[in-house]
Amino acid sequence: MLRIMYSDLRRAMIDRSVKTGVLISLVYPILLYVTYLVIFKIAEFDTPVYGDELISLYVGISAFILSAIITGFVSREYTDGIIRNKIATGATRTAVFSSAAATSAVVAAVLSAISSAVIMILTFVFTPGFQNYSTREIGDYLLIMTLAEMSIAVFAAMLVMAFGNFKIALALPLGIAFLMKVLCGIVADKLYPQDGPCLLTGTRLQVYSFIDKYIPYSYVERPMPYGFFTLFMGVMGLTVISMVVGLLIFNKKDIV
Amino acid sequence: MEYIFKTNNLEKKYGNFIALNGLNMAVPKGAIYGFVGKNGAGKTTLIRHLCGLQHQTSGSFELMGVKDDDKAISKSRRRIGAVVEAPALYKDMTARDNLKQQYLTLGLPTFDGIDELLELVGLADTGKKKAGKFSLGMRQRLGIAIALCGNPDLLILDEPTNGLDPQGIIEIRELIIKLNKEKGITFIISSHILDELSRVATYYGFIDKGRIVKEMSAEELEKECRKSIRMKVSDTKVLSRVMDELGIEYSIIDDNTADIFSEVTFSKIAKDFEDAGCTIFTMDEHEESLEAFYLSLLGGIQNA
């Protein structure tokens, strides 16, 4: 598997989708920071922009960016016949699938690292720093968000690898990211209403809480609502489910 | 004869459609196996099974002596190269980088041999040009170079001349013959362009409706398709007697038709037949083309 992953990583370095992702993770935080400055100036706020505002800039859109990039990156393996070639020349399907998932996770980690680095530079060079977060909290947050983004990338890779014969597979990761954004928004509104207490009870409360705690798509909505271990369980859950379901389908499917 | 690939009643169904219908074929080691059949006959489906891209509904196959349900089949596949449908290329990489990528995928320890491969397929001078900008012929040749990485024993080419211009077709043909002769590589070449295939193949498998209709060597096929004089006579039994006496090779088609495989003097033959009490109705020069032979095979199946 490692030899295939090495060749996949080599390809990721020159892939158009991945390059676009790198560009977005570099530029997007800067653009939003500038937008914040302009808004603060126009609204004549007398407080400066703090790092607290910047830290979740990339995370908020990361599910969409990753879904699009991983779809482009992995689906090209299908359209260019690369997957066919790997299997025809003796690579096992398990190795091919695992390598695609692992490479997608690495791409997600790199994009997350780039955006985090840009945000940290902006924070420490242009703002007074963080107002409400300790260094440890920031470290935990960046780590768990990176892991959440990696698990979302693995999930997107699984969808494309498992259903890559169908054109619909190309829309699935982005479609699911969009649906999860809407769902997680609704869940957050119900669990943490802005005016008054949460009115959910019974099974509904349990289901909403489960989504909030264990679905990594909800993590990228707001900073660290639960402890590190709870969030880590969600990340691992999505990754393991993606790998198991993906391998079951990919090992059985006809590749045309 | 040693076989590199053998199938045993291979069957593949898609719902009610039977793509492979108890297919039995055997590819001799060292052959250029022309896999002939019209579109939809099952050629690509069979190749996909060989390459591990599809799973059969029933039946089995052996690749280099390893059965398809044996875990070692993946190791056997490392000794094959394949261009299935379109060449598998990284379009945003150069020809050299594409080969490096294949070397890495195969786990080869060094990049030695890449220059030789590029030279072999005539792509040594492509420099920094990306594979996505290559012509169809160049892509096909790069696909073959990729398939040749790691010195495979078996090369599978699915419709290798599809979409190529005449020059490209000649280049691919010469490359196949060269690799077969110099490196002893066995080829399975699927095609529905019989004339093109007949210039390279040393062995043939004719497929129709998911079944192998006939397998034969190029010599056997040549014998079937060679020039003859087709005679229509009143009685082929008498014709047999006359031809045996004259020592002329012949083959009886039906009660009144026979092919004879020799230059004959018409007046002499006519006299001999008259003496034997047999009338000659017509005598025509006859040459069965590969296409006609293939169609007669299909006719045989359809009439069976």
Nearest to B51 by CA among A13, A83, A127: A83
Is B89 close to A80, i.e. CB distance below 8 A? yes
Distance to chain B for A220, nearest Cα, Å? 33
| The pLDDT value given to residue B299 | 63
3-state SS, residue B186: strand
Is B88 close to A85, i.e. CB distance below 8 A? yes
Per the CB < 8 A criterion, the answer to whether B189 and B197 are in contact is yes
Show contacts of B1-6: CB within 8 Å, 24+ apart.
B1/B28, B1/B29, B2/B28, B2/B29, B3/B27, B3/B28, B3/B29, B3/B62, B4/B28, B4/B29, B4/B63, B4/B64, B4/B153, B4/B154, B4/B186, B5/B50, B5/B61, B5/B62, B5/B63, B5/B64, B5/B154, B5/B188, B6/B61, B6/B62
What value does the mean pLDDT take over residues A137-154?
90
ipTM exceeds 0.85, yes or no:
no
Q: Residue B303: which pLDDT band, with cuts at 50, 70 and 90?
A: very low
pLDDT digits (tens, 9 = 90+) for A66-85: 899 999 999 888 888 899 99
| The pLDDT value given to residue B227 | 75
In whole numbers, what is the pLDDT of chain B averaged over residues? 87
pLDDT digits (tens, 9 = 90+) for B38-60: 888 888 899 999 999 999 999 99
pLDDT digits (tens, 9 = 90+) for B260-277: 877 778 888 888 888 888
Is B51 close to A88, i.e. CB distance below 8 A? yes
pLDDT digits (tens, 9 = 90+) for A221-251: 666 667 788 888 989 999 999 999 999 999 9
| Strands laid side by side in the B80-83 sheet | B80-83, B154-158, B186-191, B32-36, B203-208, B211-217
Is A88 close to B52, i.e. CB distance below 8 A? yes
Residues on chain A touching B144 (C-beta within 8 angstroms): none
Residues of B at the A interface, defined by Cβ within 8 angstroms: 48, 51-55, 74-82, 84-93, 101-102, 104-107, 146-147, 150, 156
Per-residue b or e along A7-29, where b marks 16 or more CB atoms closer than 10 Å to that residue's CB: bbebbbeebebbeebbebbeebb
Is A91 close to B105, i.e. CB distance below 8 A? yes
What value does the mean pLDDT take over residues A124-149?
86
* Domain count within chain A: 1
Distance to chain B for A122, nearest Cα, Å? 34
Residues on chain A touching B52 (C-beta within 8 angstroms): 87-88, 93
Domain that holds residue A34: 2-252
Q: Whole-angstrom Cα distance, residue B126 to residue A246?
A: 39
Residue B130 phi/psi, 5° resolution?
A: -75, 150
- β-pairing, B186-191 vs B80-83, is unpaired
> Where would I find the beta strands (DSSP E) of chain B?
3-14, 17-23, 26-28, 32-36, 58-63, 66-67, 80-83, 154-158, 186-191, 203-208, 211-217, 227-233, 250-252, 257-260, 280-287
Q: At what angle do helices A59-79 and A135-163 cross, to 10 degrees?
A: 30
Q: What is the DSSP letter of B165?
A: -
Per the CB < 8 A criterion, the answer to whether B185 and B216 are in contact is no
pLDDT digits (tens, 9 = 90+) for B109-163: 888 889 988 988 888 888 899 999 998 888 888 998 999 898 899 999 988 877 6
Q: Which two tokens stand for residue A227?
A: 């402890």
Which carries the bigger pLDDT value, residue A50 or residue B19?
A: B19
Ordered domains of chain B (ranges, CATH): 3-222 (3.40.50.300), 227-303 (3.30.70.100)
